[in-house]
Structure 1
């Protein structure tokens, strides 16, 4: 089987802690041939540490490199659409970390570029590729005759606590040019105005809500969609940075979503589905420490009327390894992509419904 040549744009935390080590361990499928970062210091560090033959600060060096088969877009969210469109116009396959982008108009630009491209888009919703999700969890949920209620929770704790113990020894850049910050703010400002059209002022509260849904929210709501489908409506939202919640209506049942970041080193991310006589929960641990199992817990009433509890681990393979293994099959063997750009657009539509509910609700 061919080894896909990878070019990476963005060498920050998610690259150093997750994707570079995972790609190295999948060397029978991928070879990293070039890496780009706005920081020359960071690009050099990653090239040296991970034995990458070429490094640059110019994304065009990745996008226009004829040897690159797949472009990994691992930059901060505001650059996703810019580099995705450019890579698709160069007919590259792209792996873009979630979120696809922060606004529907920007997402439509990506979709339009993909329609004209020989390349395809794979969005990095890694939780949806975890073997315990695709295996035990979805299987057990399917056996519930009628869903009565569901809960989505993601209280992730301080990220630096887990990253510092990941063994990846991440290096922070100190040489980012001032002009880069100005460009970043321009891009973000445009995305905020697209996400909140008609707003007289883009407040800090709006900005934080938008960034939060693009970070933690995109994991949780995408997982909810695959399990339960797209909600019919948003019943209510609470915006209280750094904690956010919502109620989604699904016709015969409702889903409670709650998420936030505090200083307690406890990674509590799970999706639980309730039936009349059966509860099924999948619980994710931090992805920044390899080897932690993703567990499925089942509580049900057995044939004797007794409470019965089971815990299932479908595999100890981490979600990122499973994700990139599947991506290889999509790009090389032509298997359909589950987490397409069109799929990711459904999250952005859901965010818009949440923004609308928040902004239109009257105070008590």
Structure 2
């Protein structure tokens, strides 16, 4: 059934995440959303998407989106360094903002977005942490973890394999044009450098640190955010390891209520093996619970929860729970609609995303300690 209150959307960024994920999903949710305009630094990319998804306006000027009178909601799907400036501009123009994770790459930058949202006095920010909206996570996984009286250990893993392998089989037929305006690369580098200066304030900014920051913003933000919703924020970071393109850490946590300590291992990286191994596993004395995510670039792959535990007879039992085949992006954008139209509270706010960047900052500081 078509909603009488469709949200009118403007898209900033017509790259991979737009073409493979958000444009197809918004099209399937056409009873909730209409796409009014799309912008990309490559005008050819914008025009391709406009033709493919029947979007009235294609442009290479982001002001055409931000100041468009018929747009209620701006999707910020650009590269990370532009998230803050474009989202703030959209808020000042009175638009709601959906910003793909990461919100941004530094604590001061995140605080600027939060301040802009407060100053706007109505427009809201929703950060795209889609894994946290998957039905199997929201229902089965969290329910099963809550039944563990004392957590002894947890593991966060994300070995995603080559992204191109999954994108090429997604059926979305992405295009990549390179008709970028002169000076675009210099502007991008300048904005990134500013973010790096804020993220590593007062410290030397090495190429290794740049890659670390970009990695945590891309793949790492999924995992840290998911971990934090289930377990809370770590008390401290015991250690980190940087071996690009693989990154790991050990976090120190305490059980809620009892305060008893436990460790969480974070392990993440990108190799050439086409196996998407992303999961969060929580271990108690008599029970193990794991949620496993497949590539989000292929629609319809199930997100499953596995439970292993001792029964009353001392026997090991195992079960697998599949709450829904609905993909996490569809669930996320339906939630976004409920938040903006029906007034539901937003879970993945800018303030919420700031807590992930604070954890990144703890990891950077631990790395600095290790190389003294």
Q: Using the alignment, how far apart are the partners of 1:336 and 1:265 within structure 2?
A: 37
Which position in structure 2 is the counterpart of 1:259? 268
* TM-score, normalising length: structure 1: 0.99
Which position in structure 2 is the counterpart of 1:330? 339
Q: Using the alignment, how far apart are the partners of 1:332 and 1:247 within structure 2?
A: 41
- Structure 1, unpaired ranges of 5+: none
Which position in structure 1 is the counterpart of 2:79? 76
Q: Using the alignment, how far apart are the partners of 2:149 and 2:362 within structure 1?
A: 29
Q: Residue 176 of structure 1: CA displacement?
A: 1.1
Which position in structure 1 is the counterpart of 2:243? 240
1:245 aligns to what SS in structure 2? strand
Deviates more, 1:176-185 or 1:265-274: 176-185
2:279 aligns to what SS in structure 1? strand
Q: Using the alignment, how far apart are the partners of 2:149 and 2:111 within structure 1?
A: 38
1:281 to 287, 290, 294: 290
Instruction: Output the aligned Cα RMSD.
Output: 0.7
Which position in structure 2 is the counterpart of 1:294? 303
Tell me how many residue pairs correspond in the alignment: 362
Q: Does 1:339 align with 2:342?
A: no
Which position in structure 1 is the counterpart of 2:328? 319
Q: Residue 45 of structure 1: CA displacement?
A: 0.2
1:123 to 117, 120, 127: 127
2:180 to 152, 171, 176: 176
Q: Residue 26 of structure 1: CA displacement?
A: 0.2
Q: Residue 19 of structure 1: CA displacement?
A: 0.1
Which position in structure 1 is the counterpart of 2:27? 24
2:221 to 218, 222, 230: 218
- Structure 2, unpaired ranges of 5+: 255-260
2:318 to 301, 306, 309: 309
Please give the per-residue CA displacement for 1:208-259, whole angstroms capped at 9, x wherever unaligned. Answer: 0000000010000000000000111111000110000000001311100000
Q: Residue 178 of structure 1: CA displacement?
A: 3.0
Q: Residue 350 of structure 1: CA displacement?
A: 0.4
Q: Residue 362 of structure 1: CA displacement?
A: 4.7
Q: Residue 174 of structure 1: CA displacement?
A: 2.1
Q: Does 1:186 align with 2:190?
A: yes
Q: Does 1:162 align with 2:149?
A: no
Q: Using the alignment, how far apart are the partners of 1:362 and 1:132 within structure 2?
A: 41
